[in-house]
Amino acid sequence: EAQYMAPPARFEAGTQPVAQVVAAGVAAEWMMNIGLENIEAHEKTIAAELLKLGDIEGIRILGPRENVDRIGTVAFDVAGVHPHDVGQFIDAQGIAIRVGHHCAQPVHRHFGLYASNRASSGVYNSVEDAQALVETAKGIRKFFRVE
């Protein structure tokens, strides 16, 4: 015979996340087959390309410019251009980045910003992807006439 808890506990969802647990195991196996050291090396290579964004006039990397203890994610600010406009411009070139405060408001306050742009990569990205972003970023300030 089933026994139910008193409200409101009896109305809490009861199905366990079985599919998610199985998928997490498959994802972990996939990563182990690639090799964590290979994933780390690949992200370091991509990060090296993305950090070249900081060589562009008017673009500031948020965080260290050195490719040490980094993952393949680089946040940046484009002087004089709102991050949403940056994202729209880059998206129009077929490249996806994230814009906003990325749940990192204290970091943005530290840099005197409300929001930023973020390029995130993974094993599915190529060096050419990162290079395309850097090339596209060179045209942002000219397009918005803030050079």
Q: What amino acid positions are annotated as catalytic residues?
A: 103
d(CA 76, CA 116): 6
- C-alpha closest to that of 136 among 89, 76, 75: 89
d(CA 42, CA 44): 5
The two tokens of residue 69 are: 């203890």
Torsional sign, CA 30, 42, 66, 111: negative
Burial zone of 73 (CB within 10 Å; 0-12 exposed, 13-18 middle, 19+ buried): middle
Q: In angstroms, how far is CA 118 from the centroid of its own chain?
A: 5
Q: Are 10 and 4 in contact (CB under 8 A)?
A: yes
